[in-house]
Amino acid sequence: MRLDRFIQGRIPRLSRTRANAIVRACAYHADGRRRRPSERVREGEIVLLVRPPFEEPAAPTSFGIVYDDEAMLVVDKPPGLPVHPSASYHRNTLTFLLRERYPERTPHLAHRLDRETSGVLVCARTLEDERALKRSFERREVEKVYLAIARGRMSTDEGHIDLPLGRPDEGLHLLMEVRSDGAPSRTRYRVVARAAEHTLVALWPETGRQHQLRVHLAALGHPIVGDKLYGPEGPQPFLEHVETGMTPELEARLGHPRQALHAHRLTIAHPRSGEPTELVAPLAPDLVALWAKLGGGTVIDPPERAT
């Protein structure tokens, strides 16, 4: 097998063109000699890929504070800021920014949000507080309310989505889908406002499956605007974004450069007093502007809870 085809087969989602470029830039023999894409690989052979220094993608370098005391720091995370380091992000992450801002006593993350999702993110001041907060999340004693801008006008004002979710048998490893043999997954929703062809909807996840809100809304026929995995084109926009980044043409198809999902409100027992503590992050400015652009007007506060 050619070396570029071998590399393509070993790295998920890699195109043949990208595999060829990686071999030309990064592939070496064990003795340090450069390799060519057309070289044939042999059983037992070691292929070295040496990644050259790279420029870390840009990301927001500031965040708002929702709540701050001796036990908790609650952040209003901006869209586009990763929470944890990854292959692409190191310094441009919330964990790094927290270490920079609080070097003496860095807060510990009690849960996480996707890079594109904005809103309330809870951190603990001490390890004891972290354990208490994580215990609340694990026991599902936390009420979360998300806001999303969905495609189409939802016909019902409120409802309950009860669709089990699991990973597909083939395809992208990060995808989730509705499966009869999947894990129980439940979401309550209530329409906040409607525009001509879009809906602002509040979502109460009762379970915490990966991508649950995105998959559940897509299953109703109302995928979230800007969703690269579960929109009308399926995962094709995600694959294009991996290859080329966000182009004007791709953004026009998506309707927004990121998924229009915001962690708006979270109620949790304070780790020391045990008192219910409500934490609120207003809808992110880019989504306020998007809703106005879609003809939705001023954003209305969501109801306290779905029935």
* Three-state SS at 297: coil
Give the CA distances from residue 215 to residues 134, 141, 211, 224, 292, in Å, rounded to whole numbers and listed in that order: 25, 23, 6, 9, 25
Q: Cα–Cα distance between 17 and 87 in angstroms, integer? A: 20
In the numeric block, the tokens 């070691």 are attached to 46
The DSSP secondary structure of 36-98, one letter per residue, reads: -TTPBP-TT---EE-PPP-PPPP-----EEEEESSSEEEEEEPTT--SS--SS-SSSSHHHHH
Residue type, 55: E
Which of 201, 205, 198 minimizes the C-alpha distance to 302? 201
262 close to 287: Cβ distance less than 8 angstroms: yes
Write out the chain's pLDDT in tens, 307 residues.
Answer: 999 999 998 887 788 888 999 999 999 988 889 999 999 999 988 889 997 777 888 899 999 999 999 999 999 999 999 998 887 788 889 999 999 999 999 999 999 999 999 999 999 999 999 999 999 999 999 999 999 999 999 999 999 999 999 999 887 888 999 999 999 999 999 999 999 999 999 999 999 999 999 999 999 999 999 999 999 999 999 999 988 899 999 999 999 999 999 999 999 999 999 999 999 999 999 999 999 999 998 877 776 665 5
pLDDT tens-place string over residues 170-228: 878 889 999 999 999 999 999 999 999 999 999 999 999 999 999 999 999 999 999 99
Q: Cα–Cα distance between 261 and 108 in angstroms, integer? A: 24
Beta bridge partners of 144: 266
Which residue ranges form the domains of the chain, and what is each CATH number?
A: 3-49 (no CATH), 64-293 (3.30.2350.10)
39 close to 2: Cβ distance less than 8 angstroms: yes
DSSP state of 38: T
Alpha-carbon radius of gyration of the chain:
22
The catalytic residues are: 114
